[in-house]
A and B are shown apart, each in its own frame.
Chain A
Amino acid sequence: MNCKTKHIEGEIMQHLSTEDIIRYITVGKLSEEDLEVISRVNLHIRDCRECAEKVEAFEIINGKLRGINIESVLVNENVEEIEI
């Protein structure tokens, strides 16, 4: 567990734990529990660049392990016409 703390706008904020990040990047279905994790992590990484970068790095590794290129799904603007 990472238990470092840092100050953000006067408040003490605890960094995300490795377990949180792993649960976030490996969400498989949107159960209530998963949504709670996503919500907590999304909220945290809005303000914490350090954790945002860590999540990003883990996602790249996880993507490589799973063979998924989500980045290209999100940023590719040259969408082909669907021809079947």
Chain B
Amino acid sequence: MWVNKMDYEQLYLQAVSEIFESDVPKYDSLIRFVEKHAKPYLKSWCSTVVAFKGGRHEEDILQEILIIVVKKSEKYFFFAKGTSYKEKSCDDFKAWLSRVSKNYFLSYKDKYDKGINKPIDNYDDDSPDKTQEKTLIDPKASASDRIEKRLESEYLISKSFELVFDLKNSPHIILTWLAVSLLLVTEDLERHEAIKLAHQKFDDATLYDMFCFIERSIEELGWLKVDARLLEKQKSRLEVINEENGFLIGESRYSDFYMNKGALYSMSDWVNRIDSQIVSRWQEDA
């Protein structure tokens, strides 16, 4: 849709007023502004990449840009470098937004070129070499930076896994976090996508199946080190009889543990619970 300059000005002023002049910040106009301004650029950029045709990537990129702008525009634009939103104009915002959109697009494409931005449900067969190394860091960083940051990321992830393997929450909660996190790391998905994928994978599975997937994935990753005793400890928790049905816990169907609000809600809640415990533990350690 074509939007004239006046429309943009008005929308910008509305966005600023909703964010800064109401009791609680609202982002409706900001989101509309970003959609109107960034969509045509994204469409044209995506149309130049064969693998990005079809709209799926365009939507994913736009969604990420929206989140970044809603969360970060106050710090990085409206109040950037000690300035105030009152000194900024609609054109300033457009320029900043274009830059952020382009940076995000390029980093997304870069990751895609390395074969790690694949969609969940329709992985393009024409995507680049899937055997390429999966990167955990900014591909533009220098070689020594890359190595250092990669080691740092791997260390943090390994530490988180060890911590979770050692928790005493119910096995289905721990297994959910481990499976979702492994999908996040290996498939480079957004969290909600990883939860959705885990749901597809394990809906009909038993807790033993999930454990095997986790064990195998850790082994395949290679760099993810988890103490064998911790793995054994969680495995032994699956060998306890479930008093409700007389079966081993490990033989219970994963879907039997869902709460009334549904599978995705339950899984998301379990992942959040473990996340909170990890962060609390990090805080304690700090």
Which A residues have a C-beta under 8 Å from some C-beta of B? 18-19, 21-24, 26-30, 35, 38-40, 42-43, 46, 58, 61, 64-67, 69-70, 72-77, 79-80, 82, 84
Contact = CB atoms under 8 A, between A and B. Distances in A.
B90 interface: no
A42 B190 CA distance: 22
Given A39-B27, A65-B185, A82-B102, 16 more contacts: A22-B276, A27-B71, A30-B67, A39-B25, A42-B25, A46-B74, A64-B156, A65-B156, A65-B160, A69-B107, A72-B107, A73-B68, A73-B104, A74-B72, A82-B45, A82-B105
Contact of A66 (B49, B74, B76, B184): B184
B137 interface: yes
Interface residues of B, number: 51
Interface in B73-101: 74, 76, 99-100
B153 A65 contact: yes
Given A38-B70, A72-B107, A43 B25 contact: yes
A19 B276 contact: yes
A43 B24 contact: yes
B9 interface: no
Interface string B175-197: 00000010011001011110000
Interface string B244-286: 0000000000000000000000000000100110011011000
Contacts, number: 105
Between A28, A58, A82, the greatest number of chain B beta carbons within 10 A of the residue's beta carbon is seen for A28
**Those 5 A-B pairs whose CB atoms lie nearest each other, nearest first:** A28-B192, A84-B48, A67-B136, A69-B138, A73-B103
Determine chain B's interface SS by DSSP, over half rule: helix
A64 B185 CA distance: 11
Contact of B63 (A24, A29, A42, A70): A29
B37 interface: no
A72 B140 contact: yes
B148 interface: no
A73 B107 CA distance: 8
A23 B191 CA distance: 11
A39 B24 contact: yes
Contacts of B137: 67, 69
Interface in B51-77: 63, 66-68, 70-72, 74, 76
B99 A79 contact: yes
Given A64-B156, A67-B188, A69-B138, A42 B275 contact: no
B26 interface: yes
Interface string B103-139: 1111100000000000000000000000000011110
Given A64-B152, A70-B72, A82-B48, A38 B99 contact: no
A79 to B, nearest CB: 5
A66 B102 CA distance: 20
20 contacts: A21-B279, A27-B67, A30-B27, A30-B63, A30-B66, A39-B25, A42-B25, A43-B25, A46-B74, A61-B282, A64-B156, A65-B185, A70-B68, A74-B76, A74-B103, A77-B99, A79-B99, A82-B102, A84-B48, A84-B49
